Amino acid sequence: MTFHGARRAALAAGVGPAIAAIERGDLGAAELAPAWERATLLAWADAEITETPALSRFHGPAHHAQVSAFADLDRGALALARARALVRLADRVPRAVTAHESAALDANGELAC
């Protein structure tokens, strides 16, 4: 009688798959406790997801796709910022004066005409 009451309570709690696996003999004695814990936690998670609107609307693959797209955009923005910074630095670096150009400069460094 106790077994049947516990079985009914377990089924009502949403751990039917674990009960079925135990009854079929798919699980050995050492696997019963971890399987029961897993089934209980999965049932609890399903109940929480169903009762919490934000969780029930969550779609993992769509979220992962958005995260990946953001990461791609972020890497692109960083590369663009790096390239712009290098261009600005390159514009500030003085050019090397060739021998021909230095011959055209007077003693004050101005172009001799």
Alpha helix (H) residue ranges in 13-59: 16-24, 29-51, 53-57
Residue 90 CB coordination number (10 Å) = 8
Q: Are 112 and 106 in contact (CB under 8 A)?
A: yes
The predicted-structure confidence for 58-69, as pLDDT tens digits, reads as follows 889 999 999 999
* pLDDT beyond 80 at 7: yes
Q: Which residues contact 13 (CB under 8 A, 6 or more apart)?
A: 40, 43
The average confidence (pLDDT) of the chain is: 83
Predicted TM-score of the model (pTM): 0.42
